[in-house]
Structure 1
Amino acid sequence: MEDRLKNINMSICSSCGQENETQSQFCIYCGNPILKRGEITFKRHYLLLGLISLILIVSILFFVIEGFNNKSIARVNGEGITRKDFLKRTNQAKKFYESRYGQNIFMGEAGKENMNRLKNSILDEMVTEKILLQEAKKAGYTLTSIPEKEIEERVEAIKRTYRLSNDDLKKMIGGSLEDLKEELRTELIISKFLQKTVLKEGQGNPDQIFAQWLSKVKANAKIETFEKFGALITKKASCCTSGCEGGVASPLDLKTEKEAKAKALEYYENKTQKKEVEAKVTNYGCHIQVDIIDNGKVVLSLTYNGKEVQEI
């Protein structure tokens, strides 16, 4: 009985666990304040509510971000291209270029321009891919029609060619092997569709045929993009201001592109004695333009008339 009364008149310190008299406000052992039962209960409830609130905030942020990423960055004939897929492919390409050209390629003002160029290129690539897949589907080609064995053989061929392990391959592509397989499956479907349906034998230059076919299909497609990225700062020929094609790029056959690039690089080298530059060829319809790019910046713009180049 005395022991029970003793326990009733004693308080337990929540910090060190030692017994103190009920009237004590501070623990005689550790010096910390002694919380009464009501205070302890309130503190526990407060911590619990705080934890629940934190979980709710994190959950809401997660769903907001996921919802944003799952929104379409573009639509092709009503079929969306999600921001998530776009960012995934952009990050993969970014890692590839960084591994090849160094981390500085996307730093500074020139790096921003490089990133904008990359994003525009990736989005255009995904739009074109979506159109090609839609056309392939119309012709009866589907992703499931490619045997898994064929995909595995392609992966092994890549590993042999570049002498890569699975981990090296993942690092190079900036993603998983399943991502790579999905890309290869898409490429194979498109390739088979084009070879059997578009690029029929005996019809002439396959590059030119494909360029003309794709230009026509794109013109008939309903393409909507919901985000714009900064474009390259380039000069335009006088014809682009008169409305002949409005400066809208269209496909160009591979032979002409190579010739234009070679002529432009030769011209620039003779003019500046510089070789370590790039050349970007664009067919604006009214003229073929070649932009000379040095360290991510356009340093010279030329037109190509099929024989020679001329500064804009």
Structure 2
Amino acid sequence: MSAPSFPPPRNTDPAAFGRVAVLMGGTSSEREVSLNSGRNVLEALQARGVQAHAVDGLPALLEQIRAGAIDRVFNILHGGDGENGVLQGLLSALKVPFTGPGVLGSALTLDKIRTKQVWIASGLPTPAFRRIRRGDDLRAAAAELGLPVFVKPSTEGSSVGVFRVLAEQDLQPAIDFAAGYDGELLIEQMVQGEEYTVGILDGIALPSIRIVPAGAWYDYHAKYIAEDTQYLCPGLSGQEEAQIRQLSLAAFESAACSGWGRVDVMRDVSRGLQLIEVNTAPGMTSHSLVPKAARQAGIGFEELCWRILESTFQARPA
């Protein structure tokens, strides 16, 4: 399957964007990754002549909006209030355009459990799972699902707090973590197979990427530090590539998402493609995946940032 075809950018005048706040940093566990992404986006927009400046966190953003210093927001605030609907609700109420999905799509997809519930209701494939609240018996849930499993927070990203449990003795670190964690955890059947991701840009699925870490799995180190992780793009070919793009777009839209984002998928040796999660403010670092897929489609990093910012001119789905 060939790379998707994109129409020319709708806008050629950087002044049309006005004063753009590149929102980054914040207080979530993904702060450092967000700062890295934000610096790259800021540099790309400024290189295209956009009047963009960095803003670190929601209080600073609100202060600048009150001062009348912001016309629109490029949200690259990973995790927390940047992706849980709080930012989106604030900006919607203040009528400040912003990148990424709206309130519902952002809040829903930050919560892996609720996202999977929507996918199941929509007839889309995702691994079997159990919800773990504080005090629940994690060992019993693992036995019910059957090993191997992954245990992870329902509302964190960047592989923060993720445990790969292959055998009974691997469970104790996850149990210890759960005892001190205030939020809900997700325990799901481990997919035995290949890992893929598909970027979504303006209603079009980008070429898939197959992720091949040098280690046993794609953890935080493989995502942001290691230089030996392989990224094969497109990850599939022919009808299989068409299928993963169609599935990813359906998963994105069924979760009330619009604009841009990324859908993580795995291909199980027996069950086929399985949806894992959606990221509504994907990384834009040197290791990040949406820029890699966009390049395969003929869109460089500066143009990618421009096109994402252009989406702020469009009305969101109700």
Asked if TM exceeds 0.5, the reply is no
Give the TM-score band, short-chain normalised: under 0.3
Greater fraction helix? 1
Structure having greater relative contact order (Cα 8 Å, sep ≥ 6): 2
TM-score of the superposition, structure 2-length normalised?
Answer: 0.26
